């Protein structure tokens, strides 16, 4: 089980680079399928959000570096990506996954959206047949840990999100949102959250434009706003003081010539664009126009930073929970790795027992079937009692990471590494008495 996580995020790479690696929800399953078709990759999942792109894999030890896949799939030079990437392996990858799921690695600490995004990526990977073994158990545990952090800390109190930070920025810019007209371009979850915060802050009117007009109508009605047809976007956008845009478009929705036209129609009154889409919806050249103020998702970091201090105490509690879970994972994994030695020890003892029974078989011929069964039970019991202490010693040494002690026990009992072929896919056999890295989660915690 060689777990590898490779990725980049808002801390390591600018939006100009992140948007080149963005994968839309419709392409996620196909991209994940391509990932697990790469040489040496056994299982895999891709997490693609506005702030990060990460590949989580279980792979063979000699598998090619995941950078090869990223370069080929996204048609981007590996040397351009390399300075911005981070890579974690084994328990370090597990810890990073837990932190991401618990929203400790988010731009806005404690924001609730990331867990849903991880679950969506997991379901896409399951649908693609890319998760079916050890990685599945790790991800299931990530969801349990995230749920525990949410329920046992206050990290999600006064929940914030990228959308709420965007609205906060708009309020700071204008001083007040009263009588301001806001245009939401895109009617997804991010836009819905933005609309809710805008109404709470007293926005005068809300316009909604979406490629699927019915969805725009539904969202506009929910907030007593007005839907405009996407075909009328460019002829209507000049009505807005603030445009918050979050679509899944691969190309900019607003270009410099559009913004120039809006300014002419507004007779010089300023406009604010808050672009929370990746790839970006607004061409950066728009920001060069006098009277236009453009903020993209990376610009929101300065506002998001103000939330970090008030959540630091809760974040520390969450980090402690994650460390506890990762330590448990390491111990279980160490124990899992000695399952072949335990199996071999049990099988060797059983072979000796049977050989001794055969050696004295002639003396047992006159015993009744009940007496022979009693001898069988007696000898099995003696072997099990004799093995109990060595097995417990091997498990204890392995869980503590004491390789020297494991080697000493192996040498004392003449064990080889041949037993490795006797274990299951994850090095587990029921006879060994060794648990999986985690026990199965309950139905209420499992993602279907």
CA distance 19 to 52: 9
Q: Catalytic pick from 28, 36, 50, 139?
A: 50
**118 neighbors 100 (Cβ within 8 angstroms):** yes
CA 230 to chain centre: 34
Residue count of the chain, please give it. Answer: 448
Dist CA 166 CA 299 (whole Å): 9
Helix pair angle (301-337, 91-101), 10° resolution = 140
- What would the two tokens of residue 288 be? 């060069």
Is 102 annotated in the active site?
Answer: no
Angle between helices 162-174 and 189-200 (to 10 degrees): 40
The whole-angstrom separation of Cα 165 and Cα 193 is 10
Q: Is the dihedral of CA 161, 45, 448, 327 positive or negative?
A: negative
Q: Which long-range contacts (CB under 8 A, 24 or more apart) does 304-309 make?
A: 304/107, 304/108, 304/160, 304/162, 304/165, 307/108, 307/109, 307/110, 307/160, 307/165, 308/109
Write phi, then psi, for 211 (nearest 5 degrees): -60, -35
Distances in Å between the Cα of 147 and the Cα atoms of 51, 62, 102, 154, 446 are 22, 35, 8, 12, 11
Backbone phi, psi, residue 50, to 5°: -65, -20
Instruction: Please tell me the distance from the alpha carbon of residue 199 to that of residue 206, in angstroms, as a whole number.
Output: 8
The CA–CA distances, whole Å, from 166 to 185, 296, 392, 395 equal 14, 9, 56, 52
Distance between CA atoms of residues 280 and 276, nearest Å:
7
Q: What is the CA radius of gyration of the chain?
A: 29
Find, among 95, 114, 94, the residue nearest to 103 by Cα: 114
Between CA 386 and CA 406 the distance in angstroms is 18
Q: Which residues are catalytic?
A: 50
């Amino acid at each position: 089980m060689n777990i590898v996580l490779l990725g980049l995020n808002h801390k390591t790479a600018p939006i100009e680079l992140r948007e080149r690696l963005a994968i839309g929800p419709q392409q996620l399953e196909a991209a994940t399928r391509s990932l697990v078709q790469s040489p040496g990759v056994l299982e895999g999942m891709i997490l693609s959000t506005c702030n990060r792109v990460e590949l989580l894999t279980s792979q063979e030890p000699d598998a090619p570096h995941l950078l090869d896949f990223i370069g080929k799939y996204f048609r981007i030079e590996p040397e351009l990506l390399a300075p911005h990437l981070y890579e974690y392996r084994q328990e370090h990858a597990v810890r990073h996954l837990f932190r991401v799921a618990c929203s400790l690695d988010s731009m806005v600490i404690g924001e609730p959206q990331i867990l849903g995004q991880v679950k969506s990526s997991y379901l896409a990977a399951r649908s693609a047949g890319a998760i079916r073994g050890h990685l599945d158990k790790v991800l299931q545990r990530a969801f349990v840990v995230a749920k525990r952090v949410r329920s046992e800390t206050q990290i999600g109190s006064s929940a914030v999100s990228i959308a709420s930070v965007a609205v906060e920025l708009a309020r700071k810019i204008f001083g007040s949102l009263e009588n301001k007209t806001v245009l939401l371009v895109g009617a997804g979850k991010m836009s819905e959250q933005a609309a809710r915060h805008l109404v709470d802050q007293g926005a005068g009117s809300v316009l909604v434009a979406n490629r699927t007009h019915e969805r725009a109508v539904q969202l506009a009605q929910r907030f007593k706003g007005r839907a405009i047809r996407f075909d009328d976007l460019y002829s209507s956008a000049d009505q807005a003081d603030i445009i918050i845009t979050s679509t899944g478009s691969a190309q900019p929705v607003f270009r410099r010539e559009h913004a120039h036209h809006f300014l002419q129609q507004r007779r010089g009154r300023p406009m604010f664009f808050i672009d929370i889409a990746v790839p970006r919806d607004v061409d950066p050249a728009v920001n060069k126009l006098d009277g236009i103020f453009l903020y993209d998702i990376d610009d929101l970091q300065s506002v998001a930073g103000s939330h970090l201090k008030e959540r630091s105490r809760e974040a520390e509690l969450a980090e402690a929970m994650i460390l506890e879970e990762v330590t448990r994972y390491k111990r279980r994994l160490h124990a899992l790795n000695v399952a072949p030695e335990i199996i071999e020890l049990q099988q060797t003892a059983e072979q000796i027992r049977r050989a001794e029974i055969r050696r004295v078989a002639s003396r047992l011929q006159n015993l009744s079937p009940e007496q022979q069964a009693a001898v069988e039970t007696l000898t099995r019991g003696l072997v099990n009692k004799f093995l109990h202490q060595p097995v417990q010693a091997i498990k204890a040494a392995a869980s503590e990471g004491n390789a020297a002690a494991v080697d000493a026990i192996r040498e004392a009992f003449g064990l080889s590494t041949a037993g490795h072929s006797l274990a299951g896919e994850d090095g587990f056999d029921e006879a060994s008495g060794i648990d999986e890295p985690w026990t199965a989660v309950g139905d209420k915690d499992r993602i279907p």
